[in-house]
Each structure stands twice: as structure tokens, then as C-alpha cells.
Amino acid sequence: MFSKALDYYNELQRLTLAPDSFTFPSVLGACAGSGDLQLGRRIHEHALEVGFGSDLYVGNSLINMYARLGSLDEARKVFDRMHHRDIVSWNTLISGYSANGEWEKSVEVYSELRISGLVPDCFTVESILPAYGCLGDVESGSMIHGLVCKIGIEEDRLVNNGLIAMYCKFENLTYARRIFDRMMGRDTISWNTMIDGYYQSGDFDMALELFREIMIGSNLDLVTITIILHVCHDVGVLKLGGSVHAYTIRNGYECDIVALNALVAMYSKCGNLFMSRKVFDQMDYIDSVPWNSLISGYVSRGFFGEGIDLFKSMKESKVRPDSVTTVTLVSMCAKLLDSCQGKGLHCDAIKRGLGSNLFVSNALLDMYSKCDSLEDALKEFESMETPDAVSWNAIISGSVQNGNCNLAFKLLSQMKVKGPKLDMATILGILPACSFVAAKRQGKEIHACILKLGLHSDVPVGNALIDMYSKCGSLDYAVRIFEHMNTKDMVSWTSLVCAYGMYGEGKKAVKAFRSMEETGIRPDHVAFIAVMYACSHGGLVEEGKMHFKRMEKDYNIMPKMENYACMVDLLARSGKLIEAEKFIEEMPLKPDVSIWGALLSACRFSGETKMAERVAEKIMALDSENTGYHVLISNIYSSIGKWDIVGNLRKFMKDKKMRKDPGFSWIEIRNKVYVFRTGDQLVEQSKEVYQLLERIADYSKFSLSPLVQERLRIVYNIWTLDSLLPMISARVFITLLAWCSLLVFSLGATVFEGSSTSLTVRRNANHMVVVHQ
């Protein structure tokens, strides 16, 4: 129709007939409808040539055309050049700015209108309400609402729809619903706006309730259908989503691309991959959105191979994978611990220009960290231009997960200086590092940060602090944190029970468990593991048995393998080895290596070699590759002289390249944690420590006590045996350093004279051994 109107205008010009004031508004409207800005400009020039530049109606039509075509500067120029403006002129410009998202300018023009003395009408209000809603200007929005009542347009349907939308933007659903309920003539827009308001605020129940109401008395449009499909997607209501889909088919709706995308996403999220694929295959136009929904659906349901195949098909179909595609698949690699596939996706992302995308980089950080590729994670982190809080938290928690707590502490210090503000995720990521290396001082510093940030009332933070203090040797602090928590969940109580169990306070752990039950919190299998562990370490055999029986009897919780392992440990620690073995044989689950391993450790400790042999055979039959248990079995057989079996075990371990994880210990000096691993020579001052140990061989020239002489002799003998050194545990290493420290403190600053060099060993106020050559 627009083209016909323009054809008639061209014919008018060809006939050299003079246009009038009614010609130009119609033709300019046709230009706006057809989207032809250049033609609109030529008609503007023609209007000026024939003397309609000052005509009010032509000016209003020009403002409308330029605004609708997005040329707001030209619209404003026309407005400013008008000698006479009416309310339509103002409304058109305000509406133009609002329609193009220029909220501030829309408000600015409205303010000029009010200063000019003109009274706004319903169209003015309808145009300005979206601006205040999107700007979040609650005060001005409320004033507009008051104006509506003052000028008597509160019954206007369009104004009420605008007010509902504005209050929904303010997340004031109470006022929005009040206006909605008072409306006499609601239309589909009214219903859709209110339903979408509930959906956007997360009140899915009210959105569904309104949807059921509209289905009774009104016809749905595609907007309603799309909104409710999004609700079904987020809530996971497959039945209702399928009913809505059936409604569209039954009533002959032609779903647009948005509705079809919503259907694919809903079916994928709800797990009906067959219907999701069916809708997907029926789509004429497919962009990246349905591809991403389908891939995410398969990946989230564990069909990882199908997800990769869809990704390949997506690339073959010439649809460009975006950041959502990459993040979905990289997250899948993190679940699978497949760094090889993840690196391939990383390369693909770089080729497609997504290497610097923040969301992709954060997903890669998480993937590399979980795949034990901390070095790759660090490279990715260092390559990021502006890492956000998620990036910092991911690399800090990744460092902790990979056992590099020192790096985690360094990164935390850097984050405080040049990174974003610490948040709860940062705290929950770094506190396990303090627990892992028992860094109590760092833990206290982080506790101070928690108080400063106002996070002390958050339950997860309190739970992490209980765990940290209990593992750092401060049971009193852990209990104090628990007692000061305003809200306690099951994790809080379980952490407290664990803490008591760790310190052998079995009776207090049982009491805490009972208190948890009295508060109405229902324990899970982890809580029972905690109380049984406490009973085991506290020698409360009967209480431990009782709690094991209560799992199924009182709470209908089927014991898991970990619960059975706790029960075996409980019996074995108390010397009831026969009962423990019988318990294992009567288990409804097939015992794994952890079950038999708990009994094996007790057998070795009590000297029950016959039972130990039986248990060892069970472990070897399971074909476990747990190095610790194989070493334990080897020690048991060597203790009874069965060297042929010992030889076979060692050959098996060698062939399988099984190595026992090296032990380590740590010491905190001057607010810094030093970690010592078996055979590790990378510790700071390790060179000086070695030199010191070599030179104390000449201890006889000093007047030392026999005890110190004996300690020095042991230290030197161990350190000079190269074959023995790699076998020294980290705990022994710490002990050696402690002995050397005792010597230093007993001698003060002393010079050991050698053949050609001298070594000064002195103490300082921080208990740090300082060695100078």
C-alpha cells in the first residue's frame, strides 16, 4: 500500500498538479512505512520548495517520519525550526526518542513540554512512561502516575498498560497488579504485560496463574505463547509447555522464529529431546539460538557425543557458532575432564574471533582448572585484558583445586591491589587453601576481610570458616563461629560435628548431632558420615552402630559406600576385626577398595596377619590402582617374609607406573607459608639448609650436650646418604629443621670454621633460620 501511495505522488508530480497540506502528511507516512529515508528527504525538500515549511501538520509528519526511520537529529531539527507547535508535535518527538531507546532525551523533551505550559494528554503519558521505566526513575514515574489521576485519564487503556509496564520495570508488582485489577477493559497487551512482569521478576507461579485466567476468557496471541513458553522453560513444566504447543497447532498459529526458538529451548530444558529435535527440524530459518538450545539440551542430559556431533553439523550448515555455543561445549569438557577436546574448542574459538570474549575465557579458566591444567589456566588468565570477578575467582579456586595454595594466596593479594572487589565466591574459593595447609594467620586475615565486606552473616561463609578454623587447629574458634551464626543449615551442623570428630570429641559431636535434629533439620547421609566418623575417633562404638541403624530406620536413607566404610572403620579401630569382616561380607553393596582398605589398615596395626592376607587378596582381586593400598599390602607381606609376593607386587606397580603421592608438610613464618615435599629442593633457602647440614658434621669441636650431638649425628647421617634422602618424608624434613633451629637457639650467632670457608648461623625474632656463607 505504501508503494501505491508513493506511485500516486509521483503521478501527481508528473501531471504538474500542486500538492496541498493534506498531500505531504500522507506521502511522508508512506515513506516511513516503506523505510525509504532518501525519498523522505526529497519530499521534505519538495515541501519546502512549494511553501509548506511552516505548515503545522506537515512539520508534525516530518518529525514522525524521521523518528520512525531512526534519524532523530533531523527530527529534532524540524521540531526546533517550527514556529508553532501543538501537543502532537511534542508527543511525536517524545515518542520518537522513546521508540529508539533515547530515554534521557525523551525525558528532556517532556521537561521542556511542561515548562512551555502545555498540558500533557494520554499520548504524552503513554510515550514518556517507557522512558521512566527503563531509566528506573521511580520518583518521576510516581509523579507521572499522580498527573494521570489529576488530568483525568486514569481510565485510558493505553495509559494503564504503560503504567503496568513501568511498575513492572520498577519491580513493584503490587502497584502493577493493583492497576491491572482496576482496569475495566483489559486487552491482550494488558495481560501480556502483567504476565511478563511476573516472569521477569521470577514469580513463575503468579505468571502461570494469570495465564490460566486468560485462557478461560480470551484468545492468546504469539506474544502470550512466547512468554509462557519461557516460563515453562525456566520452571521445567513440560506438560504445560506441551499443551501450549498443542494449542498453537490446534488453532492454526503460524509460530514466528521467536516462538519456535522458545519451543526448542523449552523441550530441550525439560528433557524431551525428541520433540526439541522435531521442532528444530521443521524450522525454515535456523540461526545460532535454536542450535545452542539443542546442543545445551543434549549436553545437560549427558549425551556429550551427540552434542559434539550437533556442533559439527552447525558448522557444516554455515551457521557461525557464537560465545554461547563455545561456553556450553567447554563446560561439557570440564565435566568430562577432557582437556584435549577443550583445547580444540579453545583453538576454534580463537579462529572465530572469540578468544577475547570474557564469558569464553572464564569458561576456559574453569575447564583447564578442573582438568588439572593449571599452567594453561594461568596462560589464559594472563592473556585476558580485563578479567572480572568471575575470572579472578576461577583462577584462585583453580589454584586451590590443583594444590597450589601459595599461588592462590599470591593471586588473592594481586586481586586486592588491582582486581575487582572481593565477593563471596572469592572467600569461598580461598578459605579451603587455608584449611589445606593449615594457614591460620592467612585464615584470620581473610576472616577480617569477611567482616569488612559484611559477608559474616552469609551461611556459606560461616560454614567455610568453621571448616577452616577446625582444620587449622582452632576448635574453639570454629565453635565460636558456629554459635554466632544467626542462621544455621545442615552444612553448618555437619561442619561442627566434623570438627568435634576431628579432635576426638565424640560425645560433643553426638550432642551436636542431636541438637541439629531437635531444631528440625533432617540429616542426610553426609551428616551421618560425620557423626559416625566422630564416634569412630572417639571410641563410641555403640553410638556409632546406633546412628548407622537410624539412617534407614528413622530417615529412610539408604546407606552409601561411604557410610559402610565409616562403619567398618568404627569396628576395626575398636579391635572388632572379626565383626568388621562379617559386616563387610553381609553388605548389600559390593564392597569396594575403600571398605577392604579400612580393614586392612586395622589388621596391620593389630598384627592380624592371617586376616590381613585374606583382605589383601580381596583388594588385589578388585584390580585397584590405589598406590597406598599396594604399598600397605607389600609391607604386610614383607613383615611375614613372603618376599616372592612382595617382588610381584613391586613389579606390578612398576609396570603400571604407580607412584605413591609424596607427603608434604608446611611451616608458617612471617605471614608466609613454606611447603616442604619429599625430595624437594625448591624451597626458599634450601641451598643454605643443605650447606648447614653438611657443615654440622664437625660438631665435635663444640661443647654441646649429648642430646644435641646425637640429633646432629642423625641429621648428618641421613643427609649424606643419597639413597635414603628421597625416601625421607616431609614430616621428617620439618623435624630436621626443628633440630637445627634448636641448635641455633642454643648457640646464638656462631661461626663454624671449615677448611676454607665459614658459615654463620643465627636466630632472629621470627624463628627463621638464616644462613650466610
**Model pTM?**
0.74
CA distances from 646 to 428, 643, 728 (A): 45, 5, 21
Q: Which amino acid is at 162?
A: G
677 and 758: one domain? yes
684 and 657: one domain? no
Rounded average pLDDT over 313-326: 93
Rounded average pLDDT over 356-384: 95
Assess contact for 716 and 709: CB atoms under 8 A: no
Q: Among 384, 353, 419, which Cα is nearest to 364's?
A: 384
Mind listing the pLDDT tens digit for each residue in 180-237? 999 988 899 999 999 999 999 999 999 999 998 888 777 788 999 999 999 999 999 9
Q: Is the pLDDT of residue 287 over 60?
A: yes
Helix ranges, 721-767 (H): 730-747
Domain termination residue (choose one: 661, 686, 701): 661
Mind listing the pLDDT tens digit for each residue in 611-630? 888 887 787 777 666 677 67
Q: Among 484, 492, 483, 433, which Cα is nearest to 460's?
A: 492
Q: Write out the three cell numbers for 69.
A: 526511520
Q: Is the pLDDT of residue 668 over 70?
A: no
Assess contact for 619 and 597: CB atoms under 8 A: yes
Q: Is 367 domain-assigned?
A: no
584 and 647: one domain? yes
Assess contact for 492 and 459: CB atoms under 8 A: yes
Quote the CA–CA distance of 348 and 322 in Å, as a whole number: 11
Q: Is the pLDDT of residue 609 over 90?
A: no
Rounded average pLDDT over 659-663: 62
Q: Is 504 domain-assigned?
A: no
Q: What percentage of the chain has pLDDT greater than the value 70?
A: 83
> Domain containing 602 — which CATH number?
1.25.40.10
Q: Is the pLDDT of residue 729 over 50?
A: no
User: In which band, very low, low, confident or very high, does the pLDDT at 670 lie, cut at 50, 70 and 90?
Assistant: low
By residue range, what is the domain housing residue 565?
Answer: 560-661
Domain termination residue (choose one: 661, 676, 707): 661
Q: Write out the three cell numbers for 537.
A: 575417633
Residue 673 phi, psi (nearest 5): -95, 125
656 and 736: one domain? no
Q: Is the pLDDT of residue 750 over 80?
A: no
751 and 670: one domain? yes
Q: Is 542 domain-assigned?
A: no
Q: Write out the three cell numbers for 290.
A: 535454536
Return the CA Rg of the chain.
38
User: In which band, very low, low, confident or very high, does the pLDDT at 746 lie, cut at 50, 70 and 90?
Assistant: very low
Q: Is the pLDDT of residue 461 over 90?
A: yes
Q: Write out the three cell numbers for 60.
A: 508534525
Helix ranges, 402-474 (H): 405-418, 424-436, 440-453, 459-471
Rounded average pLDDT over 650-662: 66
What pLDDT, on a 0 to 100 scale, did the predictor assign at position 571?
92
What pLDDT, on a 0 to 100 scale, did the predictor assign at position 253?
82
Quote the CA–CA distance of 238 and 297 in Å, as a whole number: 14
Burial 149-183 (b: 16+ CB within 10 A, else e): eeeebbebbbbbbbbbbbbbbbebbebbbebbeeb
Q: What is the DSSP string of 510-533?
A: HHHHHHHHHTTPPP-HHHHHHHHH
CA distances from 760 to 492, 691, 698 (A): 51, 11, 14
Quote the CA–CA distance of 275 and 264 in Å, as a whole number: 8
- Give the chain's domain count: 2
Assess contact for 581 and 599: CB atoms under 8 A: yes
Q: Is 450 domain-assigned?
A: no
Assess contact for 228 and 211: CB atoms under 8 A: yes
CA terminus-to-terminus distance, the chain: 97
3-state secondary structure of 677: strand
Among 40-44, 381-385, 643-647, which stretch is predicted with the lowest mean pLDDT? Answer: 643-647
| Burial environment of residue 621 by CB neighbours within 10 A (0 to 12, 13 to 18, 19 or more) | exposed
Mean pLDDT of the chain: 84
669 and 752: one domain? yes
Q: Is the pLDDT of residue 167 over 80?
A: yes
Mind listing the pLDDT tens digit for each residue in 505-533? 999 999 999 999 999 999 999 999 999 99
Q: Is 680 domain-assigned?
A: yes
Calculate helix-pair angle for 323-336, 288-300, nearest 10 degrees.
10
Mind listing the pLDDT tens digit for each residue in 427-444? 999 999 998 888 888 999
What pLDDT, on a 0 to 100 scale, did the predictor assign at position 675?
63
What pLDDT, on a 0 to 100 scale, did the predictor assign at position 14?
76
Domain termination residue (choose one: 661, 683, 701): 661
3-state secondary structure of 685: coil
What pLDDT, on a 0 to 100 scale, did the predictor assign at position 436?
85
Residue 641 phi, psi (nearest 5): 80, 15
3-state secondary structure of 76: helix
How many residues can be counted in the chain?
773
Q: Is 703 domain-assigned?
A: yes
Residue 68's beta-bridge partner residues?
Answer: none
